[in-house]
Chains A and B, each alone.
Chain A
C-alpha cells in the first residue's frame, strides 16, 4: 500500500525547494519547505515530519549541523542529505550521524523514487516494531501473574527494578507458585528482551546430559555425539537463562557454572577453544538452599553468586485473598478455550476453594478449575463441581474448639478406615472401647 509521507525540503535555493515541492505533490505527499536550518527547526516544533531532504551547503547552519540536532531531538525523523558538492568525507559523516541516504544533485528521477520507497519501508518496519514492542509489553505486563495481595504487589513492584540490573536473581518458592512466570517477566522488562529466554529444569535432566545441554559438545566428544551441538549457554547469547530447580544440580556442575559466571566463557565438551558467552542468570528453587549448604549439599560460593537478589514467592495458602481473582481468571481462560459459557462460581464453591490448602499452589488451582470447567454441564460452577478435590479445607480464620477438632480428626480417621472401629482404634493408638465411647459422646455418624 502506498505510504504518503509528510516531507520537508530544507534548501536555501528556492528553485530546488519548488522543484521538490512540485514533484512530491504529484506523488501525493504532503510537502513543506524551509529556506534554512533555523526555519526548519521552528517548523519541526510544530509538526512531526516523517522525512526531511536537507541540503548540506546552507548559510548560517549547514546541513550536517542541522542533521545532528534533528537526530538528537527527533530521532524518529528520517533525513536524506542532498548536495551538489559531494565528497566521500561529507557523505560518510552524514551517514554516521544517522542520515538515511545521501543524494548528489542533480539525480536521476528513479533514484528519488527508490529513496522514497526505501524510507517508506523503513517507516513501516519502525511502526511494526513499535506496535510489536507494545504488544510484547502488554502480554508480559504481569498479566500472567495474578495477585492483589500485599506479597504479590511487592513482587510486581520489585520486577521492573530487578529487570534494570544485570545481577543474578534467585527465585524461591514452593512448586506451582509461578517462579518461571516471574523470571519471564524480569526478562521481558529487561534490556535483554530482544534476545532469547531459555528455561531449563535442572531437576529433570541427569547431570551428564545437563553438561552437554548447557555447554554443547564437539562431534565425537562422547558416544552418540554424531554432530557438534551448541549449548544453551551459547544459544542464549544476549538473553536470559532460567535454571529451574537449581538445588538439584551436583556440586561438580555447581563448580562448572560458577566458573562460567565468573569468566563469562565456556568450553564445549570435547572442545579446546573457550567461547565468550553473554547471558543473565535467573535461578529458582523450592529447596532451602541455606540448609543444603549446612549439610554440604550445595556450595556456598555458588549460592552467593546466584543469589545477588532474592525474590520469595509466597505459597497460595499465604495469599488466599488472591484466590477469587485467580479463579475468575482461570474460569475465563478455560471457558474460552473449551467454548463453554460459564458465567460464575457460586459463593459456596468459592468458599471451598478459598479454604483449601493447595499444596500444588496456583498450578493445582488452575488444574482444578480446568477440570471443573471441562466437566461442568451448567453455566455456574458449584461446590459439587469440585468434589474431585481431595485435600481437606482448613479453617483459617475461625477458631476451632478442642472438642470440634477432636471430632473432625476422629471422623477423618473413621472415613479413612471405612468406619471400621477396630482398624481405626489401632490406627489412632487407642483402645476400641475408648473410641466407641468417643463416637457416642461426639455424636459421630457415618454419612449416607
Chain B
C-alpha cells in the first residue's frame, strides 16, 4: 500500500464508536491542519490483555501496531479498553517519541471519578486532547511545562479538562519544524 505523506490515520479499535473516530479526526484536521483518514476498524487486542491486572498493556499494543502497514505516515488508534504501562496504574494514551503509532483510550474518559457519565461532547473533546497529545509525541514533542499547552502532562481528568486543545507557541514551533523535517526526510527517501 502506498504511504500517504502526512496523512494521519485514525483507527477505531474494538468497541470504539466510529463517531468518536470521526470527531477525533476532525479535531486533528482542525487544530493541526493535517489531512486525516478514518481507517478500517481493528479487533480488540486480546493479545495484550494482562490477566493479573485485568488491563491491556499499551506497550505490547504499540509494538504490534507499529509492525502493521496502515498506509499513513502516523496512526492514532482509538480504543475502549483500560490501558496500562507496567509502571502506572493506568494511562489515557501512550506513544513513543518519534514512533509511528499512538494509542488513546476512551475507557477512563467516559466516566467521572464519582461514577457519573459526562456529556458525549466532553468525551469527544477529552479523546481528541489525548489523541493530539500522543500524536505530538510521535512528532518528537516532549512534555511541556506550560499548563496552558496541550503537551502539558495530564495525570487525571480534572487536569485534562483544564488543558487547552492547542500547543503553546514553542511546542507549535517544534511541531512545525518536525513537519518540515519529515517532509525533507520523505522527499529524500
- Chain A residues close to B by CB (< 8 Å): 1-2, 13, 15-16, 18-20, 22-23, 25-28, 105-113
Instruction: Give A19 to B85 CA distance when docked, in angstroms.
Output: 7
Contact (Cβ within 8 A) B86 A106: yes
Contacts of B90 in A (CB 8 A): 108-109
C-beta contact mask, B136-167 vs A, less than 8 Å → 1, else 0?
Answer: 01000011010000000101100100000000
Contact (Cβ within 8 A) A110 B159: yes
Task: Tell me the chain B residues, 91-144 only, with Cβ under 8 Å from chain A.
Answer: 91, 96-97, 137, 142-143
Q: Check B35 for interface membership: any CB of A closer than 8 A.
A: no
Q: Check B87 for interface membership: any CB of A closer than 8 A.
A: yes
Known: A22-B96, A26-B137. A106 touches B142 (CB 8 A): no
Contacts of A26 in B (CB 8 A): 97, 137, 142-143
Contacts of B59 in A (CB 8 A): 15, 18-19
Contacts of B85 in A (CB 8 A): 19, 22-23
Report the minimum CB–CB distance from B57 to chain A (whole Å).
Answer: 9
Q: Check B88 for interface membership: any CB of A closer than 8 A.
A: yes
Task: Tell me the chain B residues, 44-62 only, with Cβ under 8 Å from chain A.
Answer: 53, 59
Query: Chain A: which residue is nearest B57 at the CB level?
Result: A15
Report the minimum CB–CB distance from B176 to chain A (whole Å).
Answer: 19
Contacts of B70 in A (CB 8 A): none
Specify the main secondary structure of chain B where it touches its partner. Answer: loop
Contact (Cβ within 8 A) A113 B155: yes
Instruction: Give A278 to B52 CA distance when docked, in angstroms.
Output: 59
Contact (Cβ within 8 A) A108 B89: yes
Report the minimum CB–CB distance from A120 to chain B (whole Å).
Answer: 10
Query: Chain B: which residue is nearest A9 at the CB level?
Result: B87
Contact (Cβ within 8 A) A105 B145: no
Query: Chain A: which residue is nearest B85 at the CB level?
Result: A19
- Interface core residue of B59, B86, B90, B153 (most chain A CB under 10 Å): B86
Contact (Cβ within 8 A) A19 B153: no
3 A-B pairs closest in CB distance: A110-B155, A2-B145, A19-B87
Contacts of A15 in B (CB 8 A): 59, 86
- List 19 additional A-B contacts (Cβ < 8 Å) besides A19-B86, A26-B97: A1-B145, A2-B145, A16-B87, A19-B59, A19-B85, A19-B88, A20-B87, A22-B97, A25-B97, A26-B143, A27-B142, A27-B153, A28-B143, A105-B87, A106-B84, A108-B156, A109-B91, A113-B153, A113-B155
Report the minimum CB–CB distance from A13 to chain B (whole Å).
Answer: 8
Contacts of B159 in A (CB 8 A): 110
Contact (Cβ within 8 A) B87 A28: no
Contact (Cβ within 8 A) A106 B143: no
Interface Cβ pair total, 8 Å cutoff: 60
Other-chain residue from A13, A27, A111 in contact with B143 (beta carbon distance below 8 A) = A27
Other-chain residue from A13, A25, A107 in contact with B88 (beta carbon distance below 8 A) = A107
Contacts of A27 in B (CB 8 A): 142-143, 153
Contacts of B88 in A (CB 8 A): 19, 106-109, 112
Instruction: Give A2 to B85 CA distance when docked, in angstroms.
Output: 25
Contacts of B137 in A (CB 8 A): 26
Q: Can you name 29 A-B pairs with beta carbons within 8 Å?
A: A1-B145, A2-B145, A15-B59, A15-B86, A16-B86, A19-B59, A19-B85, A19-B86, A20-B87, A22-B97, A25-B142, A26-B97, A26-B142, A27-B143, A106-B84, A106-B86, A106-B87, A106-B88, A107-B87, A107-B88, A107-B89, A108-B89, A108-B155, A108-B156, A109-B155, A112-B87, A112-B88, A113-B153, A113-B155
Contacts of B53 in A (CB 8 A): 106
Contacts of B97 in A (CB 8 A): 22, 25-26
Query: Chain A: which residue is nearest B87 at the CB level?
Result: A19
Query: Chain A: which residue is nearest B142 at the CB level?
Result: A28
Instruction: Give A113 to B145 CA distance when docked, in angstroms.
Output: 11
Report the minimum CB–CB distance from A401 to chain B (whole Å).
Answer: 83
Contacts of A2 in B (CB 8 A): 145
Contact (Cβ within 8 A) B156 A110: yes
Report the minimum CB–CB distance from A104 to chain B (whole Å).
Answer: 10
Query: Chain A: which residue is nearest B99 at the CB level?
Result: A22
Report the minimum CB–CB distance from A189 to chain B (whole Å).
Answer: 40
Query: Chain A: which residue is nearest B156 at the CB level?
Result: A110
Contacts of A20 in B (CB 8 A): 87
Contacts of A110 in B (CB 8 A): 155-156, 159
- Interface core residue of B88, B90, B91 (most chain A CB under 10 Å): B88
Instruction: Give A112 to B88 CA distance when docked, in angstroms.
Output: 9
Contacts of A16 in B (CB 8 A): 86-87
Instruction: Give A19 to B63 CA distance when docked, in angstroms.
Output: 13
Instruction: Give A243 to B92 CA distance when docked, in angstroms.
Output: 66
Report the minimum CB–CB distance from A159 to chain B (whole Å).
Answer: 46
Contacts of A13 in B (CB 8 A): 86
